[in-house]
Chains A and B, each alone.
Chain A
Amino acid sequence: MSEKIFSLLSGIIFGVGLVLSGMTNPEKVIGFLSITHNWDASLIFVMGGAIIVTAPFFYILRNRNRSSLGFDIKLPKKIDLDKKLIIGSSLFGIGWGLVGLCPGPAVSSIALLEPITLIFLLAMLVGILTSKYI
Chain B
Amino acid sequence: MYNFTPISALTGGIIIGCAVVLYFYTTGRLAGISGIFANTFTSKVNRSSNILFLLGLVLGPLGYFYFSKTHVNFEITNSYFLIIIAGFLVGFGTRMGGGCTSGHGICGISRISVRSIIATVTFIFTGMLTVFILQQYGIYL
Residues of A within 8 A of B (CB): 2-4, 6-28, 30-31, 33-55, 57-58, 61, 66-69, 71-76, 78-81, 84-104, 106-112, 114, 116, 119-132, 134
> Given the complex of chains A and B, what is the CA–CA distance between A66 and B112 in angstroms?
20
> Given the complex of chains A and B, what is the CA–CA distance between A93 and B130 in angstroms?
8
Q: How many contacts A-B (CB < 8 Å)?
A: 483
Are B56 and A15 closer than 8 Å at their CB atoms? yes
Residues of B within 8 A of A (CB): 1-6, 8-31, 33-34, 37-38, 41-42, 48-50, 52-65, 72-78, 80, 82-98, 100-102, 104-115, 118-120, 122-132, 134-135, 140-141
The minimal Cβ–Cβ distance linking B22 to chain A, given in whole angstroms, is 5
Please pick, from B58, B74, B96, the residue contacting A84 in the complex, using a CB distance under 8 A: B96
The minimal Cβ–Cβ distance linking B69 to chain A, given in whole angstroms, is 14
> Given the complex of chains A and B, what is the CA–CA distance between A2 and B93 in angstroms?
33
Are B131 and A14 closer than 8 Å at their CB atoms? no
Contacts of B33 in A (CB 8 A): 14, 102-104, 107
The minimal Cβ–Cβ distance linking B35 to chain A, given in whole angstroms, is 9
Are B15 and A17 closer than 8 Å at their CB atoms? yes
> Given the complex of chains A and B, what is the CA–CA distance between A75 and B32 in angstroms?
11
Are B115 and A66 closer than 8 Å at their CB atoms? no
Are B52 and A8 closer than 8 Å at their CB atoms? yes
> Given the complex of chains A and B, what is the CA–CA distance between A81 and B122 in angstroms?
12
The minimal Cβ–Cβ distance linking B129 to chain A, given in whole angstroms, is 7
Are B53 and A10 closer than 8 Å at their CB atoms? yes
Are B101 and A101 closer than 8 Å at their CB atoms? no
> Given the complex of chains A and B, what is the CA–CA distance between A122 and B37 in angstroms?
11
Contacts of A122 in B (CB 8 A): 87
> Given the complex of chains A and B, what is the CA–CA distance between A20 and B26 in angstroms?
24
> Given the complex of chains A and B, what is the CA–CA distance between A100 and B89 in angstroms?
12
Please pick, from A9, A40, A44, A123, the residue contacting B88 in the complex, using a CB distance under 8 A: A123
> Given the complex of chains A and B, what is the CA–CA distance between A33 and B97 in angstroms?
20
Q: Which residue of B lies closest to A71 (CB)?
A: B28
Are B119 and A89 closer than 8 Å at their CB atoms? yes
> Given the complex of chains A and B, what is the CA–CA distance between A15 and B31 in angstroms?
12
Can you offer 17 A-B residue contacts whose CB atoms are under 8 A?
A: A15-B58, A16-B15, A17-B18, A21-B15, A25-B75, A48-B13, A51-B13, A85-B115, A86-B122, A89-B118, A92-B126, A97-B127, A99-B77, A99-B83, A103-B34, A116-B83, A132-B95
